[in-house]
């Protein structure tokens, strides 16, 4: 190779040095299999569980465990004045069974559960005019084929021998709003006219659930009218940096507001200033304000598991039981 200026200054041959491995520097470390990430409560209980070629379950399914999820999917259409145009909850009780053997399981629900539907034998179990006065109201229900309803009408207890793996024990639906407390978020959009060619949309949202809980993965979005020529979004000076963010995409005229963790009973606000023709009617031309969210340990339906009994004669049979609930938005919108 032709000599270079650097080579003219070198008088010794280079000697390669081996890079020491991390294992030789650090002491041996074996992770504790019982240790989980702090965000594990927000993940699916069957995340990472894969069926083995022999029909068993690996990862968490290797133990003698049973998981119960009460999931509420809420849909609501709310006006700017706060009135509710439509409301519904489509929910389910989902079970993941990794129990050894085939023991019987007794799943007890709310004692004051009332079923309004009269369609079909199973759906109308426990129904009747007197049942409508219960504290927890469901309009329609249906059950998995393995569920026995012998004790459901009198005791609100489901009896089943769960198959291995994941399945839905019960589907249910609530078709009307029975209490204002069923709305987890309140939205108040207000339009301010700044000049003839400039307006401001001030959006205030309050989490209307207990302050000991919090919502995660919250996303508020809306599309500005086509006649908007420019727009800017801003958060209050008190907003914690990194906890929430707001962006405006000019190509799609989309405003997005994301909040990582929203404590209950807390109100947050967003300001959107826009330039648009004086003839533009913002309330008529702007699309709905949509929300997406998840609220762990909270269910709008108020459906609850009183107890979960696993019937097995062997006293040494002690499986692990896990029960949790979750509410998330299916279609949660507010119209100006």
By percentage, how much of the chain surpasses pLDDT 70?
A: 76
Q: How confident is the model at residue 57 (pLDDT cuts 50, 70, 90)?
A: very low
Q: What is the mean pLDDT of the chain?
A: 82
pLDDT (0 to 100) of residue 240: 83
* pLDDT tens digit sequence for 99-154: 888 889 999 999 999 988 643 333 344 444 344 444 789 999 999 999 999 999 99
Q: How confident is the model at residue 315 (pLDDT cuts 50, 70, 90)?
A: confident
pLDDT (0 to 100) of residue 127: 40
For residue 236, give both structure tokens: 């209050």
Quick count: other Cβ atoms within 10 Å of Cβ 269?
Answer: 17
Q: pTM above 0.95?
A: no
118, with CB counted inside 10 A (0-12, 13-18, 19+), is exposed
* pLDDT tens digit sequence for 81-103: 989 999 999 999 999 999 888 88
Calculate mean pLDDT across residues 243-265: 96
Calculate mean pLDDT across residues 288-311: 94
The pLDDT of residue 209 is above 60 = yes
For residue 195, give both structure tokens: 């000049």
pLDDT (0 to 100) of residue 175: 94
CA distance 125 to 172: 13
Per-residue three-class SS string for the chain: CCCCCCHHHCCCCCCCCCCCCHHHHCCCCCCCCCCCCHHHHHCCCCCCCCECCCCCECHHHHCCEEEEEEEEEEEEEEECCCCEEEEEEEEEEEEEEECCCCCEEEEEECCCEEECCCCCCCCCCCCCHHHHHCCEEECEEEECCCEECCCHHHHCEEEECCCCEEEEEEEEEECCCCCHHHCCEEEEEEEEEEECCEEEEEEEEEECCCCCCEEEEEEEEEECCCCCCEEEEECCCCCCECCEEEEEECCCCEEEEEEEEEECCCEEEEEEEEECCCCCCHHHHCCCEEEEEEEECCCCCCCCEEEEEEECCCCCCCCEEEEEEEEEEEEEEEEC
pLDDT (0 to 100) of residue 42: 45
pLDDT top residue among 60 and 289: 289
Rg (CA), the chain: 28
């Amino acid at each position: 190779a032709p000599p270079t200026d650097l080579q003219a200054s070198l008088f010794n041959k280079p000697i390669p040095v081996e890079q020491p491995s991390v294992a030789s520097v650090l002491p041996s470390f074996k992770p504790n299999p019982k240790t989980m990430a702090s965000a594990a409560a927000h993940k699916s209980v069957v995340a990472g569980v894969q069926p083995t070629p022999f029909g068993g379950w690996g990862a968490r399914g290797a133990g003698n465990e049973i998981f119960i999820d009460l999931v509420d999917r809420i849909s609501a259409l709310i006006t700017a004045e706060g009135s509710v145009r439509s409301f519904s909850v489509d929910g389910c009780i989902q079970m993941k069974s990794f129990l050894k053997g085939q023991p019987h399981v007794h799943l007890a629900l709310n004692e004051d559960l009332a079923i309004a539907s009269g369609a079909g034998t199973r759906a109308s179990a426990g129904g009747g005019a007197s049942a409508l006065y219960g504290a927890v109201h469901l309009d329609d229900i249906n059950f998995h084929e393995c569920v026995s309803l012998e004790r459901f009408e009198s005791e609100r207890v489901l009896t089943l021998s769960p198959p291995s793996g994941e399945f839905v024990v019960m589907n249910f639906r609530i078709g009307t709003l029975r209490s204002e407390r069923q709305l987890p978020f309140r939205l108040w959009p207000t339009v301010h006219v700044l000049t003839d060619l400039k307006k401001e949309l001030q959006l205030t949202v309050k989490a209307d659930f207990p302050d000991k809980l919090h919502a995660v993965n919250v996303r508020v979005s809306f599309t500005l009218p086509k006649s908007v020529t420019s727009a800017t979004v801003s958060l209050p000076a008190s907003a914690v940096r990194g906890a929430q963010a707001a962006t405006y995409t000019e190509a799609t005229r989309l405003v997005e507001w994301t909040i990582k963790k929203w404590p209950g009973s807390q109100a947050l606000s967003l300001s959107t200033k826009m330039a648009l023709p004086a003839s533009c009617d913002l309330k008529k031309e702007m699309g709905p304000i949509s929300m997406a969210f998840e609220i762990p340990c909270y269910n709008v339906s108020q459906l609850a598991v009183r107890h979960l009994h696993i019937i097995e004669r062997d006293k040494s049979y002690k499986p692990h039981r896990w029960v949790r609930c979750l509410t998330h938005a299916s279609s949660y919108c507010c119209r100006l």
